Amino acid sequence: MDELVPGGNLPLPGGALTLTVPGPFDVSALVTDDGGKVRGDGDFVFYNQPAAPGARLSGQTLTVDPAALRAGASRVTVVVTPAEPGTPLGQLPAPALQVTGSGGRVLARFTPSRPQRETVLLLAEIYRRGTTWKLRALGQGYADGLAGIARDFGVEVSEDTDTRPGPGAGAGAGFGGSHGPRSTHRPQAGRGPAAGPGLTGAGLTGAGPLPEAFLALVNSARAAVGSPAVVLDGRLTAAARAQAADMAARGRLGSEGEDGLSVHQRVTAAGYSYLTVGEHLVSGPRDAAEFVEYCLSDGRTRRTVQDPAFTEAGVACVPDNRSGTLYWTALWAAPLTPGGLARTAAEVLALTNAERAAAGLPPLAEDPLLTRAAQAHSADMVARAFYSHTAPDGSEPWDRAAAAGSPRRTIGENIACGQRSPAEVVRGWMDSPGHRANILKPAFTHLGVGFAGGGSAGTYWTQLFGA
């Protein structure tokens, strides 16, 4: 059984799957093709329409049989909303997804970070890659109810009013409401379509007035909390432009493009190696001022703008040629340096030893050979697009330690992906019984830490323990 983090994925066995989200939530699903759009309203499975070919909803349990989906279907997106309409998800417990296979075996669990003012969460998706079906954890939030989700996936939704909200417009509740903010989070933000005359020509693609206006606004916000100014980086801007163009071409927000590349893979493909990264993916603002204002309007997205760890940024916006809606991407990063990587590994070691000290255990010593093996494994997971203790060549943690020249006779390994800081990754390991057991194993005496940025999840971490 896998405990997934946002961006994590795993191959699925054949047969039907059962997806359950207990608690005060409604579950729904959207069946889409490779273009991310439904074929018709019948592809939207929710409480008033509980069945479609290959998908059936019963209360809080969704059953999906990939082989029985309609022709052309390649993705089922699982959506969670509060059972009480209009309730912000931040007022409820974090939704916890459990996925069970046809034999009753639990395949995966996923509990995302609890959203705040969002009223809809894209929790996970079942998708086809070649002949294989996979499950991916999402945790992406929207703030304007099922209507906003439906529109982005191509479901026809009637409007009670024809409105175009300006900055700070409130969210509509359910179907028939006006467009309000919608977002994808890790952390990211968005607003509903609000096409307008704010930017034209080169400014739309990250040249001309847009970068300068963006930079002045965000650095003012950063200065207000004592964070250092960021500077624009051409590689980050190129990656932001590619991400924004992909979203505009598809007419919807998403951290993975039509070409299968994640926003983090676009960053590394542009030649930028990072130590930490953040992003805002947004639709609707008409100029840089509206975009930055929206990013500062929510606690989590504001923290990204003001995070002192970031030193460089890139920004772009591209219009959807069909609707005129502007799709924005802002990328924030600190470049990877040998010193920064060493400080990150040292912080993971220090936090790990703090947990051992709290349990009355002696500290682990840094081991350069284990570090070499751990770093190589994190980099390998990014380069070969896998997430496992077993590498594609069949090698296991003890094989990697021996290949690095380590004399340690007992080896253990923790891996993680998607976490943005040493504190977040160590906290996640301590919240997982199996990973916690490695951290608190009395017999271990040494530790190596590896980190690599990129891939579908954005960050890949490895702890290699030895005794």
Q: How confident is the model at residue 259 (pLDDT cuts 50, 70, 90)?
A: confident
Structure tokens at 249: 């071409």
Tell me the average pLDDT of the chain. 82
- pLDDT value, residue 94: 83
Among 28, 64, 23, 65, residue whose Cα is nearest residue 47: 28
CB contact at 8 A, 454 and 267: yes
CB contact at 8 A, 182 and 299: no
Q: CA 11, 12, 14, 15: dihedral to nearest 10 degrees?
A: -170
Residue-level length of the chain: 467
CB contact at 8 A, 340 and 365: no
In terms of C-beta density within 10 A (0-12 exposed, 13-18 middle, 19 or more buried), how is residue 364 classed? buried
Query: How does DSSP assign 41-99, residue by residue?
Result: GGGEEBTTB-EETTEEEETTEEEE-GGGSPTT--EEEEEEEESSTT--GGGSPPP-EEE
- pLDDT value, residue 19: 94
- pLDDT value, residue 149: 64
Q: How far is the C-alpha of 30 from the C-alpha of 267, rounded, in Å?
A: 29
pLDDT tens per residue across span 348-385: 999 999 999 999 999 999 999 999 999 999 999 999 98
Among 33, 294, 279, residue whose Cα is nearest residue 153: 33
Helix (H) or strand (E) holding 466: strand 458-466
Q: How confident is the model at residue 191 (pLDDT cuts 50, 70, 90)?
A: very low
pLDDT tens per residue across span 386-429: 889 999 999 999 999 999 999 999 999 999 988 889 998 999 89
In terms of C-beta density within 10 A (0-12 exposed, 13-18 middle, 19 or more buried), how is residue 172 classed? buried
Q: 430: number of CA atoms within 13 Å, CB side?
A: 16
What's the whole-number mean pLDDT along residues 159-188? 26
Which conformational region is residue 271 in: left (phi greater than 0), alpha (psi within -120 to 50 degrees), or beta?
left
Would you say residue 124 has pLDDT above 60?
yes
Would you say residue 140 has pLDDT above 60?
yes
